[in-house]
């Protein structure tokens, strides 16, 4: 099982190395029925070996594709490695995909095998049998509810591992042949096909090689000094490139430990128990954490609330400076230390961040106030910029060079350039091989000399840090020539705990408007405290006092924008609160919760028209998809609010007052 270091160019070879060199260290943890279970690298190696030999006995071979569908579970992560040991290619699928989305990916990728977490996912797969003729074998992890199913080509993971065990008993050379198959693998082989979230059309299958995944993982570990002593909690979709690199590529490259929570609902409590040292979350997760903190503080007693807000001011003054090792006065250092004992440490513990050494956020821009809030509590939160086609990493923020308005410097072995159009291009070891069965899209994204177009507009500042303005295709101008960057405005709106989502419009228009979703947790808590009765999101969103609250927030942002010359002309003049929450099942968001802007513009065209024609109300009916797949309609009589805008002088004067 011994391999030379230079030959650790694939995930299976790293598995062998970790089992040999870090065999006693924990590799995977999973909470089930309230109890944490652990597997060392040596134990994980054996589980994967049996799984892989069983897959071979069922007919999986080099070049075949195998779908993996479900929540984060060790057995599903093992399915990746088990398939890769044979030279097969995993294709993870978003577990909350509706049938149409899943059918497209399974059919397009021509999958022959599928590994599913439970009955729910098995049912989806079986219902798509006629649409995916290539699919032969279905394997499941959780047997509950599947006892009466036709066992033909339906296997439990334990059953597949038993086939592997039988193969070893029948043929003593089977183990050596398995090692030889691993040795055949090369860094240039396709490691995984990850489908993009499809914000502008059908998802594209991004083909990453083992070298892409392994080198990206190694470089990231070196950058932040991750070692086998570090632990991550795996809770984000396995079909997303971030989870694949963080929880798989980096874990195998550095022999890190991966912990899988019991369920999506128990993530925070499970995180508290595990105490990860490395954590990643998109801005939405940090927004929700802040909302929960603020809601809890509203319910706290007067003394506790006063103490919280006092030490929050201390944290804003000194927290980030202390975190970055910058000079801070003795008085503030003493106050911050006291605040850490009374407020900051309990908050970090409540969020599961007591042992946290590094946290990252990416996926979309994070509000600067939100970013600074967490850093001021002593959480080493940093930003990175990346995409699926880069195996995640394009830029990262070095310790001591963390700025809320930038996404960092080019990562190890990565080059960046900005075209005259403002679009960001990059070269790196993580550059994807190509799009599966889509040479036209590949040619449009990769230049002949190896640069990759990101589709994002940005610039390099005087410190050598990259600043992203918006998606290149989304950056526009108002009719008066003012720059309009919708994502910047939307992210600023979402910093307010009462606002969950926002979609801004303005390109080719006379002024900026916005569609807003309220945050049901935050606004619902406020309603309860104020004895406001409501029966649904729609009813609460239409409440006059909720409109007054959101109007104050938008007005507050307009004052802030007025003081920023680049975006002063992008102050909002009208807004409305949507009668329903934007939902991925309705096509309004991607599975990674990104806004599908063009889809929303078409779906809510009557509302957008009303925002610009002076209407004070607009009636609209919208089709929705319920959790069980049924369709229905939500009708709403939506109010439209007009706002005043500010000059820079007035905004600064009011801020001073």
Task: Give the separation between CA 557 and CA 392, rounded to whole angstroms.
Answer: 32
Q: What is the pLDDT of residue 587?
A: 87
Instruction: Name the segment(s) of the chain with CATH classification 3.40.50.12780.
Output: 5-208+232-265, 283-469
Task: Give the separation between CA 349 and CA 563, rounded to whole angstroms.
Answer: 37
For residue range 152-175, what is the model confidence (pLDDT) as tens digits?
999 999 999 999 999 999 998 999
Q: Is it the case that residue 386 has pLDDT exceeding 80?
A: yes
Q: Is it the case that residue 651 has pLDDT exceeding 70?
A: no
List the beta bridge partners of residue 417. Answer: 425
What percent of the chain shows pLDDT beyond 90?
76
Task: Give the separation between CA 219 and CA 184, rounded to whole angstroms.
Answer: 24
For residue range 389-446, what is the model confidence (pLDDT) as tens digits?
999 999 999 999 999 889 999 999 999 999 887 899 999 999 999 999 999 999 999 9
- Top mean-pLDDT range of 116-120, 126-130, 367-371: 116-120
Task: Give the separation between CA 451 and CA 432, rounded to whole angstroms.
Answer: 11
Superfamily of domain 283-469: ANL, N-terminal domain (3.40.50.12780)
CATH number at 5-208+232-265: 3.40.50.12780
Q: What is the pLDDT of residue 458?
A: 85
Q: Is it the case that residue 657 has pLDDT exceeding 60?
A: no
Record the tokens describing residue 111, joined without a space. Answer: 């999958």
Q: What is the pLDDT of residue 442?
A: 96
Q: Is it the case that residue 4 has pLDDT exceeding 50?
A: no
Task: Give the separation between CA 226 and CA 217, rounded to whole angstroms.
Answer: 10
Give the neighbor-by-neighbor strand order of the sheet with 278-280.
Answer: 35-40, 26-32, 257-260, 231-233, 278-280, 358-361, 381-387, 392-396, 409-410
pLDDT band at 383 (very low <50, low <70, confident <90, very high): very high
Q: Is it the case that residue 310 has pLDDT exceeding 80?
A: yes
Q: What is the pLDDT of residue 2?
A: 38
pTM for this predicted structure: 0.81
Does domain 476-656 fall under CATH 3.30.360.10? My reply is no
For residue range 189-230, what is the model confidence (pLDDT) as tens digits?
999 999 987 655 688 999 999 999 999 999 999 999 999 999
List the beta bridge partners of residue 623. Answer: 633
Instruction: Name the segment(s) of the chain with CATH classification 3.30.300.30.
Output: 476-656
DSSP for 39-66, written as a single string: EEHHHHHHHHHHHHHHHHHTT--TT-EE
- In a 13 Å sphere around the CA of 550, the CA atoms on its Cβ side amount to 34
Nearest to residue 497, comparing CAs of 655, 306, 292, 327?
Answer: 292
Q: What is the pLDDT of residue 655?
A: 53
Q: Please tell me what DSSP assigns to residue 595.
A: B
Mean pLDDT of the chain: 92
Q: Please tell me what DSSP assigns to residue 608.
A: H
Q: Is it the case that residue 613 has pLDDT exceeding 80?
A: yes
Cα separation values, 343 from 337, 353, 378, Å: 10, 14, 11
Q: How far apart are the first and last CA of the chain?
A: 71
Record the tokens describing residue 540, joined without a space. Answer: 């609460």
């Amino acid at each position: 099982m011994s391999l030379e270091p230079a030959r650790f160019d694939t995930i299976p070879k790293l598995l062998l190395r970790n089992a040999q060199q870090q065999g006693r260290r924990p590799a995977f943890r999973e909470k089930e029925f309230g109890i944490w279970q652990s597997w060392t690298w040596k134990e994980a190696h054996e589980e994967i070996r049996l799984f892989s030999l069983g897959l071979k006995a069922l007919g999986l071979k080099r070049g075949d594709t195998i779908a993996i569908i479900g929540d984060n579970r060790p057995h599903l992560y093992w399915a990746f490695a088990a398939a890769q040991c044979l030279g097969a290619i995993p294709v993870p699928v978003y577990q909350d995909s509706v049938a149409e989305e899943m059918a497209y990916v399974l059919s397009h990728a021509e999958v022959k095998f599928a590994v599913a977490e439970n009955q729910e996912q098995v049912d989806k797969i079986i219902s798509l049998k006629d649409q995916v003729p290539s699919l032969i074998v279905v394997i499941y992890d959780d047997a509950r509810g599947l006892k009466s199913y036709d066992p033909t080509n339906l296997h439990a993971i334990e059953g597949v591992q038993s086939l592997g065990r039988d193969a070893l008993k029948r043929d003593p050379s089977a183990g050596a042949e398995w090692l030889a198959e691993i040795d055949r693998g090369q860094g240039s082989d396709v490691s995984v096909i990850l489908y993009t979230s499809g914000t502008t059309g059908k998802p594209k299958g991004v083909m990453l090689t083992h070298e892409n995944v392994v080198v990206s993982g190694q470089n990231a570990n070196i950058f932040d000094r991750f070692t086998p002593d570090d632990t991550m909690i795996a809770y984000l979709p396995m079909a997303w490139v971030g989870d694949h690199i963080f929880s798989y590529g980096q874990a195998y490259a550095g022999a890190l430990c991966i912990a899988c929570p019991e369920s999506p609902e128990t993530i925070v409590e499970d995180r508290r128990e595990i105490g990860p040292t490395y954590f990643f979350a998109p801005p939405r997760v940090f927004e929700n954490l802040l909302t929960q903190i603020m809601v809890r503080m509203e319910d706290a007693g007067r003394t506790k609330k006063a103490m919280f807000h006092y030490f929050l001011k201390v944290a804003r003054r000194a927290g980030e400076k202390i975190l970055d090792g910058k000079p801070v006065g003795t008085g503030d250092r003493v106050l911050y230390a006291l605040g850490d004992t009374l407020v900051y440490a309990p908050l970090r513990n409540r969020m599961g961040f007591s042992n946290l050494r590094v946290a990252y956020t990416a996926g979309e821009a994070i509000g600067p106030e939100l970013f600074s809030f967490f850093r001021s509590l002593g959480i080493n939160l940093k930003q990175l910029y990346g995409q699926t086609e880069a195996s995640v990493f394009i830029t990262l923020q070095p310790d001591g060079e963390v700025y809320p308005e930038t996404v960092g410097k080019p990562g190890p072995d990565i080059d960046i350039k900005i075209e005259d159009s403002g679009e960001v291009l990059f070269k790196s070891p993580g550059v994807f091989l190509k799009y599966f069965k889509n040479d036209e899209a590949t040619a449009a994204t990769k230049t002949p000399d190896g640069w990759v177009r990101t589709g994002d507009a940005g610039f390099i500042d005087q410190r050598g840090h990259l600043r992203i303005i918006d998606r290149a295709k989304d950056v526009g101008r108002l009719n008066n020539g003012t720059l309009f960057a919708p994502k910047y405005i939307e992210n600023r709106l979402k910093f307010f705990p009462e606002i969950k989502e926002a979609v801004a419009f303005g390109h080719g228009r006379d002024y900026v408007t916005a569609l807003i979703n309220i945050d049901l947790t935050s606004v619902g808590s406020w309603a309860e405290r104020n004895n406001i009765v409501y029966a649904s999101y729609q009813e609460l969103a239409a409440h006059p006092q909720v409109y007054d609250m959101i109007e104050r927030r938008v007005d507050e942002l307009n004052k802030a924008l007025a003081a920023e010359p680049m975006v002063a002309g992008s102050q909002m003049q009208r807004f409305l609160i949507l009668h329903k929450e934007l939902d991925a099942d309705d096509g309004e968001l991607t599975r990674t919760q990104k806004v599908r802007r063009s889809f929303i513009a078409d779906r809510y065209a009557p509302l957008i028209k009303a925002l610009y024609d002076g209407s004070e109300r607009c009636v609209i009916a919208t089709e929705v998809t319920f959790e069980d797949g049924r369709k229905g309609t939500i009708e709403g009589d939506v109010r439209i609010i007009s706002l005043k805008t500010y000059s820079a002088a007035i905004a600064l004067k009011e801020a001073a007052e």
